[in-house]
């Protein structure tokens, strides 16, 4: 009986304190040289693929490493001119993140949102993949208010809801074309949109 109790306690001690070993790398697809790292705490292994579309140009990034379970979500944001999509796969065994996360869907999902093209915000955009929300981002620079609109996934909206500040705000809604059609000219925010969301999802 004592031996059984010892074995149970021994297993609980060492399995409970075991930290995962994961592959870690970051770089352009095909140029991500992995090394092994030991995660801390309750982190899990993750593999992430980020695809950025601008016009006819497609740029893919790959990253692997340790992350918390709550970060194991995909993101997608689309302003009609650029689109950034991230897919993430997580797993819980040593070195299980060797496989690249697959690209997300580029198929229309039936939802539409307004977007701005630098001249007008009356344009209608067909949302793709898991972009199930309409997004409106507004930044105030001095006395000028600049706005960007488009489609986004729920995960992007959840993240941006924590980032509202005096000079910048984000709102998301679920109905078709619910992000308003008011025409607003935009310059700085329109140009910085791809960079901002690339930072957000990383």
94 in a structural domain: no
Range of the domain at 185: 108-201
| Whether the predicted pLDDT of 188 surpasses 80 | no
Residue 103 forms part of a structural domain: no
Position 183 scores a pLDDT of: 41
Average pLDDT over residues 157-166: 77
Comparing 3-7, 84-88, 136-140, the range with the smallest average pLDDT is 3-7
In this prediction, residues 25-46 reach a mean pLDDT of: 89
pLDDT on residue 147: 86
**CA distance linking residue 81 with residue 194, whole number of Å:** 10
- For residue 147, tell me if it sits in a domain: yes
- The mean per-residue pLDDT over the stretch 24-53 comes to 91
Q: How many domains does the chain have?
A: 1
* pLDDT > 70? residue 13: no
pLDDT in tens, 70-82: 999 999 999 998 9
Confidence of residue 173 (pLDDT cuts 50, 70, 90): very high
16: in domain: no
Rounded average pLDDT over 26-42:
87
Decide: 133 and 173 in contact? Cβ < 8 Å: yes
CATH of the domain at 173: 2.10.60.10
| Residue 126 counted as domain residue | yes
Mean pLDDT (the chain) is: 81
- Say if residues 151 and 128 touch (Cβ distance below 8 Å): yes
Q: Is residue 136 part of a domain?
A: yes
Alpha-carbon span 125 to 129, nearest angstrom: 13
Please indicate, yes or no, if residue 48 is contained in any of the structural domains.
no
In a domain, 5, yes or no: no
């Amino acid at each position: 009986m004592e031996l059984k109790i010892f074995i149970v306690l021994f297993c609980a001690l060492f399995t409970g304190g075991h930290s995962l070993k994961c592959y870690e790398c970051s770089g352009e697809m095909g140029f991500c040289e992995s090394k092994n790292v030991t995660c801390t705490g309750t982190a899990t292994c993750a593999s992430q693929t980020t695809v950025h579309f601008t016009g006819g140009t497609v740029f893919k990034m790959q990253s692997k490493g340790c992350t918390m379970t709550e970060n194991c979500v995909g993101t997608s944001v689309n302003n009609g001119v650029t689109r950034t999509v991230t897919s993430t796969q997580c797993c819980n065994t040593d070195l299980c993140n060797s496989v690249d996360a697959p690209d997300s869907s580029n198929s229309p999902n039936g939802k539409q949102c307004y977007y701005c093209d630098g001249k007008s915000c009356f344009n209608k955009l067909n949302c793709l993949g898991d972009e199930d929300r309409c997004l409106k981002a507004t930044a105030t620079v001095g006395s000028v208010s600049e706005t960007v609109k488009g489609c986004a996934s729920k995960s992007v909206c959840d993240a941006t809801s924590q980032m509202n500040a005096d000079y910048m705000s984000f709102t998301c809604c679920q109905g078709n074309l619910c992000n308003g059609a008011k025409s607003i000219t935009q310059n700085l925010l329109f140009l910085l949109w791809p960079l901002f969301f690339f930072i957000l999802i990383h």
